[in-house]
Amino acid sequence: MTDTKDTSAQPPAWQAILRGLGPRGLLPKIGAPLLALAISLLITMGLLRLTGADPISAIQGMIDYGTTENSIVDILNRATRYYLSAVAVAIGFRMGLLNIGVDGQYRLAAMLAAALGGAVVLPAPFGQMLVIVAAMLVGGLWAAIAGILKVTRGVSEVLSTIMLNAIATGLIAYLLNDQRLAEERPGSNNVATAAIPESGRVGPLNGFLSSLGIDLPGQVYGLLPVAIVVGVVFWVVINHTRFGFDLRISGLSPSAAQASGVSAKRMVVVTMIASGAVAGLIGMPELLGASYEYSLNFPAGLGFTGITVALLGRNHPLGIAFAALLFAFLDQTSDVLQEVDVPKEIVGVMQGIVVLTVVIVYELVRRWEIRSQQRAVASELATGHDLAKEGTS
Amino acid sequence: MPDEAPAVRLSGITKRFPGVVANRDINLTIERGEVHALCGENGAGKSTLMKILYGMQQPDEGSIEIDGAAVSLRSPADAIGLGIGMVHQHFKLADNLTVLENVILGAEPRRRGRIDFAAARARIAEMSARYGLHVEPDALVETLGVGERQRVEILKVLFRGARVLILDEPTAVLVPQEVDELFGNLRELRAEGLTVLFISHKLDEVLSVADAISVIRRGTTVATCLDPAEVTSRRLAELMVGSELPTPELRESTVTDEVQLEIEKLTVLTPSGRPVVEDVSLRIHRGEIVGLAGVEGNGQSELIETVMGLVSADAGFVRFGGEDITDWTTRRRREAGIAYIPEDRHRHGLVLEGSLWENRMLGHQTERPNVRGPWVDKRGAKRDTTRIVQEYDVRTPGIDVPASALSGGNQQKLIVGREMSGEPKLLIAAHPTRGIDVGAQAAIWEYLRQARAAGLAVLLISADLEELIGMSDTLHVILRGRLVAEVDPARVTPEELGSAMTGATEDTA
């Protein structure tokens, strides 16, 4: 027998999943992800076994390689991009808006900001700030199109953002041309925007880290702290501000939010803009800290990874951080698998398994918790623990 | 007919939901070929019982027998297989399909892998003729009126071979002539040997159409198989309400001559341009409770949603304390002192996943003690939630539990407590006591009386006519979006009010 009718006023499972609803109590909150990871580890090991590899040594190899200093730097850099992307997605998810267009938003933002940064020379830190603000503006405005279409024409944001991704791709291809915003790189068939001058770049974080006693090779993104700041701001806004409250209740119950005085239309547009503005930041660590230009080689597809990472991280700033690190670790160590004759693509399967297990375990734990809470309330009332009476006695 | 097994027999049915018992030890026998009426107040447990019989929910205890054989219904498909069909109160038809397509949808007769429209058409024509259900098979459903749509629903159920028809409040959406037609159809169905289970709380209808009447109150059957020839509507009302119920009543008048809310020539149109609220003018003074009586779906929801700013007015004005608020946002209206107890507490009143203190903030998230500037003041909100829980007797072990863990009555008390906070000037109360237990009902009436004495203006909407009559200083009747009569609550009886609501009598004032 199912209990679905009893909880008919609850959001359906898929919505609960997308909005990152999960258990509320401390124990299930910690227990659920651990359980999910243990289960997905078991499945993964079974999978490795099936492909003919020794699972223990394969995973051992991944861990060994993943903890080398070079790998740690790469993992941190990848995780920074994943993190920003997932937060951008999560902002929408928290109010039930599925911003599938993060990908187009960050690429267009990075491209236009790179062109601006290459054209304008300003003393530090104004050059950097100009590029970052421009990227946030472009991302926000591009996302706003989907929000405005939704509130004025009733177009589903899923459809419009997917289409805006395609339009962004076309627009970038048009603008990234030596007739327009880009120049050809001699000796290759790459085209790129003009390089951002020295004064407009952000140096690596290694110097700061070594002053803390952590010496790492290579270049850790100088803008890694931006991701942390974004995470903290996201957490504070969601949990401690009126705007965050409006956003959360709009996600949990749009009808109740509207009756409470939240303007649904305004929330949709504002949330899309916020989501797009954070999406604009995704390309910044790479642009200002490593490539200094937007070229055909600029990392693509981060917006889609962000959706998975946000799902895995349950739309929670801390959860997303762990999820981003895990995904970055898996991506980084996929090469090792080839040494034990496992195709590296198996990592994609592993990532899928992790997300599915987490989503399923969380939903099950959440339902179990709702039922047990209802029982607990009934039994506590039956035994006379009643707040209403305590105050009057 | 002792040799014949009853069409349906329910014995000892009990169904519990967290915090409430929806059905308790229900015993009901429905003979074959009768129109059996099941009456009870809103929230008495009629719908739950019907959902159990239709396989949408499973009972925790008790047994169901169909034609003498014990069955277990796990889904509506099981019920349909056993010849039980349900006509829902809210039609489930595809507007852009024809009558024929709607009827066969999901049960298409096939011939060589293709839908056999000819056979379907023949069967529908045959059924229409036999049961007197006249519909044009090729008409688009969107062009049909409400009464015709209901006939399509009935045909749909018959097409699937139903021998027992459950009709859930079938008259709630019909105008009187359509009700007469429906009753004619029901008599024909009965003549053809079908069994009809008719759910209603309208006593005159029940008495006119039923062969046997059962009454359900607070989740249990209090009378079964009454003979309509031997029972009066007064006796039925007593059975439905129960003598131990507190009576809603107002004491001395507290009405002042200060107008708090003035609605003037308000018109609201549907997206297709049909008026749902038409030319409504209404005044509510401070210290006055104005009741609005009407059959569900006659514009009262749209009217209150317009006052709350959830629906925009197409013509006319809403003035609040002398100020024109017609174009104000919902938030601005709430901040100005309009409180709102919504019709549907799960959809509009609460965020079920949210904790009690988060729900206390709902609708008041720009006001102290919930916020300070742009920041949420958790401590203030929690402290005030504890106050509401204690003053309004919300039964909960704490304020961090989610609202979904509370029983319906306690959820409602939390909403009432929240809306009474912050000294509102006007309260829009839609079905404030719907579906809650007797104790909570009496308590909510008492809060309304106190607030009224303190100068609160109240617009009250309720399907419970006793409540409307007892709690209103002024009582208007709304029919098809218009205010058609003003009646004196001190003199009108529920029966008179009921017929005014259906437009059966021209003048009751």
pLDDT above 90 (res B61) = no
Q: How far is residue A181's CA from residue B435's CA, in Å, rounded to a whole number?
A: 66
- Look at residue A19 in the predicted model and tell me its pLDDT: 63
Among partner residues A6, A243, A252, which is closest to B18 by beta-carbon distance? A6
Of B209-223, B428-442, B444-458, the range with the lowest mean pLDDT is B428-442
What are the tens digits of pLDDT across the range B128-157?
888 888 888 888 888 887 788 888 888 888
Report the b/e string of B298-315 with b at 16+ CB within 10 A. Answer: bbbbbbbbbbbbbbebbe
Partners of residue B339 on adjacent β-strands: B427
- Look at residue A386 in the predicted model and tell me its pLDDT: 67
Q: Is A156 on the interface with B (CB under 8 A)?
A: no
Partners of residue B317 on adjacent β-strands: B264
∠ CA(A367), CA(A368), CA(A369), 5° rounding? 90
**Neighbouring C-beta atoms of residue A240, cutoff 10 Å:** 15
Contact A10 B342 (CB under 8 A): no
Q: Nearest CA to CA, how far is B360 from chain A (Å)? A: 11
Contact B375 A241 (CB under 8 A): yes
pLDDT above 70 (res A78) = yes
Torsion angle defined by CA atoms of residues A47, A53, A54 and A60, in that order, rounded to the nearest 10 degrees:
-90
- Look at residue B141 in the predicted model and tell me its pLDDT: 86
What are the tens digits of pLDDT across the range A165-221?
999 999 999 998 888 887 887 777 788 888 888 888 888 888 888 888 888 888 889
- Look at residue B507 in the predicted model and tell me its pLDDT: 46
∠ CA(A45), CA(A47), CA(A50), 5° rounding? 115
In angstroms, what CA-CA distances link B182 with A132, B12, B288? 69, 32, 40
Q: Tell me which chain B residues have a C-beta less than 8 angstroms from the C-beta of A259.
A: 308, 310, 330, 340, 342, 348-349, 363
Q: How far is residue A223's CA from residue A225's CA, in Å, rounded to a whole number?
A: 5
- Look at residue A4 in the predicted model and tell me its pLDDT: 32
Q: How far is residue B87's CA from residue B79's CA, in Å, rounded to a whole number?
A: 13
- Look at residue B247 in the predicted model and tell me its pLDDT: 67
* Residue A363 belongs to some domain of the structure: no
Contact B374 A260 (CB under 8 A): no
* Residue A15 belongs to some domain of the structure: no
* Residue A127 belongs to some domain of the structure: yes
What are the tens digits of pLDDT across the range B234-279?
777 778 766 555 667 777 778 788 888 888 898 988 888 888 888 8
∠ CA(B265), CA(B267), CA(B273), 5° rounding? 155
User: Which of A59-73, A223-237, B352-366, B399-413 is the most confident on average?
Assistant: A223-237
pLDDT above 70 (res B175) = no
Q: How far is residue A112's CA from residue A134's CA, in Å, rounded to a whole number?
A: 8
In angstroms, what CA-CA distances link A206 with A127, A174, A197? 22, 37, 21
pLDDT above 60 (res A7) = no
pLDDT above 50 (res A370) = yes
DSSP string, A131-195: HHHHHHHHHHHHHHHHHHHHHHH---HHHHHHHHHHHHHHHHHHHSSTTTTEEEPTTSS-EEEPP
The kind and range of the H/E element at B195 are strand B195-200
Q: Tell me which chain A residues have a C-beta less than 8 angstroms from the C-beta of B397.
A: 376-377, 380-381, 385-387
Mean pLDDT value across residues A132-142: 96
Among partner residues B57, B334, B405, which is closest to A377 by beta-carbon distance? B405
- Look at residue A141 in the predicted model and tell me its pLDDT: 97
Give chain B's domains with CATH numbers. Answer: 8-241 (3.40.50.300), 245-337+425-509 (3.40.50.300), 346-422 (no CATH)
The single-letter code of the amino acid at B249 is: E
Selected residue of A29, A237, A243, A260 to mutate for chain B interface (largest B Cβ count, 10 A): A260
**Neighbouring C-beta atoms of residue B275, cutoff 10 Å:** 18
Q: Is the pTM of this model over 0.80?
A: no
In angstroms, what CA-CA distances link B30 with B1, B162, B206? 12, 15, 15
Q: Is B348 on the interface with A (CB under 8 A)?
A: yes
Q: Nearest CA to CA, how far is B344 from chain A (Å)? A: 10
Mean pLDDT value across residues A58-73: 89
Q: Is A392 on the interface with B (CB under 8 A)?
A: yes
Q: Is residue A101 a contact partner of residue A282, using CB atoms and an 8 Å limit?
A: no
Average pLDDT, chain B: 84
- Look at residue A151 in the predicted model and tell me its pLDDT: 92
* Residue A19 belongs to some domain of the structure: no
Q: Tell me which chain A residues have a C-beta less than 8 angstroms from the C-beta of B340.
A: 259
B57: Cα within 13 Å, side-chain hemisphere: 25
What three-state secondary structure class fits B222? Answer: strand
Structure letter (DSSP) for residue A82:
H
pLDDT above 80 (res B218) = no
Q: Is residue A383 a contact partner of residue B397, using CB atoms and an 8 Å limit?
A: no
Does A306 or A4 have the greater pLDDT score? A306
- Look at residue B311 in the predicted model and tell me its pLDDT: 87
pLDDT above 70 (res B5) = yes
In angstroms, what CA-CA distances link A41 with A139, A294, A314, A350, B148? 37, 38, 19, 9, 59
Selected residue of A1, A94, A253, A314 to mutate for chain B interface (largest B Cβ count, 10 A): A253
Among partner residues B57, B376, B386, which is closest to A245 by beta-carbon distance? B376
Of A252-261, A275-284, B183-192, B393-402, the range with the lowest mean pLDDT is B393-402
Quick one: pLDDT band at residue A8, thresholds 50, 70, 90? very low
Inter-chain CB pairs, A–B, below 8 Å: 144
**Neighbouring C-beta atoms of residue B139, cutoff 10 Å:** 14
Searching chain B, which residue's CA lies closest to the CA of residue A6? B17
Q: Tell me which chain B residues have a C-beta less than 8 angstroms from the C-beta of A11.
A: 353
Searching chain A, which residue's CA lies closest to the CA of residue B389? A388
* Residue A122 belongs to some domain of the structure: yes
* Residue A118 belongs to some domain of the structure: yes
Q: Nearest CA to CA, how far is B121 from chain A (Å)? A: 36
* Residue A272 belongs to some domain of the structure: yes
What are the tens digits of pLDDT across the range A98-119?
999 999 999 999 999 999 998 8
Prediction ipTM score:
0.78
Q: Nearest CA to CA, how far is A200 from chain B (Å)? A: 35
> For chain A, what is the domain count?
1
Host domain of residue A191? 54-340
Quick one: pLDDT band at residue A392, thresholds 50, 70, 90? very low
Does A120 or A21 have the greater pLDDT score? A120
Looking at chain B, the whole-number percentage of residues with pLDDT higher than 70 is 93
Quick one: pLDDT band at residue A359, thresholds 50, 70, 90? confident
A125 preceded by a cis bond (ω within 30 of 0): yes
Mean pLDDT value across residues A9-26: 63
Partners of residue B319 on adjacent β-strands: B262, B324
Q: How far is residue B215's CA from residue B377's CA, in Å, rounded to a whole number?
A: 49
DSSP string, A293-347: S-BTTS---HHHHHHHHHHHTTT-HHHHHHHHHHHHHHHHHHHHHHHTT--TTHH
Q: Is A255 on the interface with B (CB under 8 A)?
A: yes
Q: How far is residue B406's CA from residue B396's CA, in Å, rounded to a whole number?
A: 7
Q: Tell me which chain B residues have a C-beta less than 8 angstroms from the C-beta of A5.
A: 51, 56-57
Contact B334 A261 (CB under 8 A): yes
Q: Is B361 on the interface with A (CB under 8 A)?
A: yes
* Residue A360 belongs to some domain of the structure: no
pLDDT above 80 (res B288) = yes
∠ CA(B278), CA(B281), CA(B282), 5° rounding? 130
CATH code for the domain of A81 = 1.10.3470
Mean pLDDT value across residues B377-384: 88
What three-state secondary structure class fits A128? Answer: helix
Q: How far is residue A391's CA from residue B13's CA, in Å, rounded to a whole number?
A: 38
Mean pLDDT value across residues B300-315: 89
Q: Tell me which chain B residues have a C-beta less than 8 angstroms from the C-beta of A10.
A: 352-353, 404
Mean pLDDT value across residues B223-232: 82
Q: What are phi and psi of A66, to 5 degrees?
A: -65, -20
Q: Is B139 on the interface with A (CB under 8 A)?
A: no
- Look at residue A11 in the predicted model and tell me its pLDDT: 56
